[in-house]
Homo-oligomer: A and B are copies of this chain.
Amino acid sequence: MRERKMADVMFGAREVFFRRGYEGASVDAIAAEGKVSKATMYSYYPSKEQLFLGVVESECGRLAEEILRPLSRASEPRALLEELAQRIVDLVLDDTYIRLLRTCIGASEALPEVGEVYFRAGPKPARELVGQVLERLTREGALDVDDARRASDHFIHLCVSGLLMPRLLAVKRAVKPEKHAGEAVAALLRLYGSNHRDKVP
């Protein structure tokens, strides 16, 4: 029962914090949304701020798991890169994750800890994972990456280009991202393909 109620609290809190932001969310609304009494809520979390941090940490944990999920054993470099790209695109298209990011950004000036937690759960491991893949593909001769960190940033930003901003700003827009991952991989290969140094820049 305890775990069940705990989950109810988190569920309601997540929804209300995502919808109204940290400051805009009221604890009464959170309790109502989770169908839980305020007394129970306060028996689990001593304050609204702690509850918010709990939600952010829990959601960031799920996010980090999602990012670090094992890759398939695809051997073909292009397939591997497309799997990575698709995973990034899917994250940006996922409502829960984008609302989490929106909420963290909105709260990060007043509660810098929140921004830090999200950064360590999202962008940082993503960059590291992508970096490892790019380095491996470079060792195997499929890519020619000198600075894995910079190349990872480039790859990730090619993946989210044109998608992230409208999503963050809640701009209603018929985003058509079917070919997005493929295009990002194509761009990356042009940027860092193993024969890119042959060119006269």
Contact = CB atoms under 8 A, between A and B. Distances in A.
Contact of A190 (B108, B158, B160, B196): B196
Interface string A24-37: 10000000000000
A116 to B, nearest CB: 6
Given A195-B199, A199-B196, A165 B109 contact: no
Given A115-B169, A171-B115, A199-B190, A19 B109 contact: yes
A46 interface: no
| Copies of this chain, tallied across the complex | 2
Determine chain A's interface SS by DSSP, over half rule.
Answer: helix
Interface of A: 18-24, 99, 102-110, 112, 115-116, 118-119, 123, 149-150, 153-154, 156-158, 160-162, 165-166, 168-172, 183, 186-187, 189-191, 193, 195-196, 198-201
Contacts of A106: 21, 102-103, 105-107
11 contacts: A20-B23, A21-B109, A24-B110, A102-B106, A102-B108, A102-B109, A150-B161, A156-B161, A157-B158, A193-B199, A195-B200
